[in-house]
Amino acid sequence: MPALAQPTEQLSEQPTDGVAEPVVLLERRVTYHPTSPSPSPAPPSGGGAQTCVGCVGALHWWRCQPSSLLWWGATIQLGSAAVFEVACAAGLPGILTTRDMERAFVHLPSLVGSLGFTFASYVYLMEVTHSANPLRRPAELSMGYAIAVINLVGSVLYTVASAFYFAPAEAEASPDEPAPYDTGYYYSEWGVRFLYGLGSLCFTAGAALSFPEMFSG
């Protein structure tokens, strides 16, 4: 550690009136301590931008970027989730009383929200593969690619299940049968509920795989 400068006195070489005047000079004395290592710089607070916490702290939770396809994907997914929540809330028992209200507040929001999920999942898959062809595999398989594919499959299943809401409840009468064959049960059980169940399993798997993907690297 450098020591402070110490004042020293030295006689002037040119005396005035035969009297030497003292001149005060500053002599810098430097003391080195080779055994004391220099302190290393402290790591940045918050873990730095290379960690998950640092990345979250540096995020802008809302910024308009209409030129970014990823921004459109995230925005449409957020809006689709809000629309789909309307269908979930309206589908609770005792809220809707007519078939038309059910079509307006359950069937249609479900279809619109599912289409938004499909668009967002397709955008995320394009981001991973760098191609508009959803069947094209990337040069190197990754966890992100698997998550994007699983979410896209789940979104398509949700869209098909929502479309079955608009299927006719009954088929036309057959001349070989005495009464019309009711297909509403099969549309409801296999077209709607079963496909929604498969899609929900895909979303659950994608969310579970997102945790190791988020904390890796």
Over the stretch 50-109, which tens digit does the pLDDT of each residue have?
555 566 666 666 778 888 899 999 999 999 999 999 999 999 998 999 989 999 999 999
Answer whether 0.75 is exceeded by the pTM: no
User: Mean of the pLDDT values across residues 23-50?
Assistant: 49
Q: Which residues of 58-89 are buried (b: 16+ CB within 10 A; e: fewer)?
A: eeeeeeeeeeeeeeebebbbeebeebbebbee
| 3-class secondary-structure state, position 96 | coil
Position 21 scores a pLDDT of 53
Both tokens of 32, joined, read: 């080195």
Higher pLDDT, 120 or 27: 120
User: Which H helix or E strand runs over 7?
Assistant: strand 6-11
